[in-house]
Structure formats: structure tokens, C-alpha cells
Structure 1
């Protein structure tokens, strides 16, 4: 009879511990999410702190809380912290081999935050993948393409690749090349291009707009325009100048020739 009572008490103790552990897991998981979101909102609301720090700090806080929750759950089942350290120490090699890619991403995440090759909101190219940086956390960088496709880049891959940051500088140079017919007046075409550039308020006067003949093609004389604008105006300026020069060429009789081949017949 005493054996049955002891068995029932032991089972009840296990059930109670399991319920406690479950409650800790649920509360801890919810708390980690709430605190993570709160930190992110606070950082985003502060003008003195970079938004990039917000995402990274939120990610760190979430994982730290989850680690504490895991240790608490283990302690409920009688596994003390000292025992846990011993177990983790014995399993370090195996865990390191299994998670070496993840650990590399974690280390790379700290390097990305430390050296800041890109920030949230900037348009970048990482190893041939382009997009606007939406988030940087402990393990991955999230990009969004111009057509709003989500791209997840592991931090280890980002840190170990060539990074092109199109938004790092406040200004960018806009290059547009126009092909004109060999019979057209080159100086007139250059004057038209300069006039169109000067008429656009987004085009900077310093450095001054630059127009030169850059190539003698098979079917056209190529005239290149180089102007500077604010980085955020780059595409709008490029598209607007391209259309405006084309329309001005049409009204002024400057032709943009199609590729063609001239056949010359020689009499025997």
C-alpha cells in the first residue's frame, strides 16, 4: 500500500513539474515576444538611435529571455545550473560542429552591426542580390526587392560577400547615353541635352552637368550625359531626362537612328 502511495505521489510530482514547465515556457515565449517588440518600437520612435540597432537589440533580447526560460524549465525538473554547464561543456564540440553555419551567422551579425556596411532602409546589392534592407537580426538580413519580394540572406553570407551600398552617399551620378545620326549636328545635340539637364531642378549645378561624345557606333554617334542628383532622386531623374531629351530631339529634328546596315555594291 505504501508503495502505491509513493508511486502516486511521484507521478503527481512529475505532473506538477510538467505543468509548471509548460506554464514557464508559454509565459516566457509570450514575454520574449512582447519585450522584443517593445524594444523595437522604442528604438524606432527615438531619433537618436539608428533603426538598425533596434532590430538587432530586439533579436538579442528575445533570445536571451528564451535562454533564461530554458534554464528555468530545466531547473524545475531538478537539473541545476552547474549540471547544465557541465552538460553543455561536454556537448560543445558536437553542437559547434552541427551549428557551425548558425554560429558563423551569429558572429557575422555582430560584425555587420559593428561596422555598418548597410543600414535599414538602404538599397544594397549583396553577392548579386539587390533590395532594400528591411531588417537585420542575429542570424539573417531581410531584403525587399523593388517589386516587394522578400529575400532572406544569412548574415555569414552577407559578411563574406561583396556588398554594394547604393544609398551610402547622399548624392549619385546619373549617366544617360543617347545615339544620334551621323548626319546630325553634334554640337546642337549637346546643347539640347545640357538645356534639358539645366531645366530639371533636381539636377545639381555642382558638379556641373557633363556632355561628351563617347563612342562612334555602327549606326550612331553616342553622346553621354552625366549629371549629379540626390541619391533618392536617382531613378526619377534618369527616367525624366531620358524622356525629356527624346521629346526635345524630336522637336528639334535630331534623330535617334535604328541599328542598320548599309550595303555598298561595287561594279566589276
Structure 2
């Protein structure tokens, strides 16, 4: 009986020790869980604070940027685009900061983001060049809506300036789209950028005709046209002694919007006046001699 009682007592003591160990482990787990929950809650609280402060700072930065851009008279499209880029970049920085605060590893995320950026950049190389060209055009403003430009072998009035393409409308009402990358990197002529243009019109006369008389007729036509805005600078010169004609040139300043009407007027009326005064306008001729070969 004594031996049996001793074994029972030993079993009870072992069970109590094991129970104490389990209770102790459970207590430790609960304590660790509570501590981790407290730490996570604190990190979550800091993350929320970082998000709120980050949004406030980002909003202030965007407002300051818009004020600076508006004072610089930069195109509204450029301002909106750059503002959206600042917004995206700002939120990326906020998210990465929050992830670091709550214990998420950001190194691999940043690496993945960089790799994705490089891959996308290589895949969209042409589009990115056009995109950069569009930004450059909107900032430097080599032309504006309504301007008549000549570039890349085409010409027309600018009807739309997008980030990727610029749209022209030709004289015969064709719609032409130019990639901004090429447009920003090419020689571009803005015909209507200035309010005034010098009009040069060349007309040839025969070597037997009276040069002084022809020059006077051309000068009178310029004065009578009503298009000249600088009468003191209107002049007729002998530009060239060509193979089959003496090339005279009329030079006068006109308003840009009157350029073509003035040119057509001078061409037509000089021809009429030359015909009235028996002054010839030579043209190329081809003499063909036929021989009778037997």
C-alpha cells in the first residue's frame, strides 16, 4: 500500500509540473501575443499618422508647385501632367515608408519597382521619346495652337498639342499627326509666329525690255495693293541675270495674315501691267529640228 501511494503521489506531482509548464508556456505565448499586438497597434498607429502627415505635406508641395508654375506662365497641360507625376511619386514614397514602419521588407519591393520601370522603359522607348518631346514642346513653346508650321516635310496649322502627338491641319483640310519626339528634334519653321512678314516676289523680264520701266510698274503695283505696312522699305531690285531672263524682285512688308493674298495680288496685277506696257515675261522654250533622212 505504501508503495502504491508513493507512485500515485509521484504521478500527481508530475502532472502538476507538466500543467505548470503548459500554463507557463501559455502565459508566455499570451504575453508575447499581447506585446506583439501592442507593438503592431503602435506601428499601425504610426503608419496612419505617417499617411495623414504625408498627405498633408504632399498637398502643400503640390500647391507650392502650382503657384510657382503659374507664375512662370507654363502651359496648363504641362502643369497638370507634372502635378500628377508629383502626386504619384509622393504616394509611392508614403507607401514605402508605411511598409517599412509596419515591418514589411521594402528592399525587394524597390528592386522590383526599379526592374519593372526599366523593362517598361525599354518596351516603350519610342513612346517615351515622344512623351519627352511633348513635355519639351509644351515647356519651350516653339509654336502654339493656330500657328502655321513647317516640319518633317509637312506643313499646316496647329490644331492640337498632345503629350505624344501634335496635330496639323493642312491647307487642303488634311489632318496630319506628327510624333513629338521627331518634332522636338527637327528643324521647325513657325511661319506665323511673328505679326509681320517680308514678302518677296520674283518676276522675270526679257533682256530687250526696259528695266527701269518694269521696276517702276512693279513699285506702283506694290503701292496700289494696300497690303504694305512699311512703305519706306518697299523696293524693287534686279536679283539675277539669268540665262533667259532678268529676274526682278519686289520686297515689301505685310501683315502675316495678308501674306498669301498680297502675293497673289502682286503676281496677277504685275502681269496685267506688263501686258499693257508690252513688257515680256520669258518662259522656257524647246526648239525641235526635224531632218529628213533618206
TM-score bin (small chain): 0.5 to 0.7
- RMSD across aligned C-alpha pairs, in angstroms? 3.1
Q: What is the number of equivalent residue pairs in this alignment?
A: 200
Q: Within the alignment, does 1:180 sit opposite 2:180 as a pair? A: no
Q: Within the alignment, does 1:202 sit opposite 2:223 as a pair? A: no
Deviation at 1:259, TM superposition (A): 2.5
Task: Give me the TM-score of the superposition, normalised by structure 2.
Answer: 0.60
- Corresponding residue for residue 117 of structure 2: 92
- The one-character-per-residue Cα deviations of 1:83-115 (angstroms, maximum 9, x if unpaired) are 997754441111011012212222221111111
Task: Specify the SS of the correspondent of 1:132.
Answer: strand
- 1:208-219 alignment, distance < 5 Å: 208-219=233-244
Between the aligned partners of 2:109 and 2:234, the Cα distance in structure 1 is 67
- Corresponding residue for residue 13 of structure 1: none
- Corresponding residue for residue 11 of structure 1: none
Between the aligned partners of 1:212 and 1:111, the Cα distance in structure 2 is 42
Structure 1 unaligned runs (5+)?
1-49, 72-81, 263-268
- 1:64-79 alignment, distance < 5 Å: none
8 Å Cα contact 2:78-2:139 kept in structure 1: no
- Corresponding residue for residue 223 of structure 1: 248
Q: Within the alignment, does 1:133 sit opposite 2:150 as a pair? A: no
- The one-character-per-residue Cα deviations of 1:115-160 (angstroms, maximum 9, x if unpaired) are 1111110011122221111111111111111111111111111111
- Corresponding residue for residue 174 of structure 2: 149
- 1:99-110 alignment, distance < 5 Å: 99-110=124-135
Greater RCO, CA 8 A, separation 6+: 1
- The one-character-per-residue Cα deviations of 1:24-78 (angstroms, maximum 9, x if unpaired) are xxxxxxxxxxxxxxxxxxxxxxxxxx9x9466678x49x88xx9xxx9xxxxxxx
Task: Specify the SS of the correspondent of 1:118.
Answer: coil
- The one-character-per-residue Cα deviations of 1:172-222 (angstroms, maximum 9, x if unpaired) are 111111111211111000000000001111112255211111122222211
Task: Specify the SS of the correspondent of 1:227.
Answer: strand
* Greater C-alpha radius of gyration: 2
Structure 2 unaligned runs (5+)?
1-72, 93-105, 288-294
Which residue of 259, 262, 268 corresponds with 2:284? 259
Higher share in helix: 2
Task: Give me the TM-score of the superposition, normalised by structure 1.
Answer: 0.65
8 Å Cα contact 1:169-1:231 kept in structure 2: yes
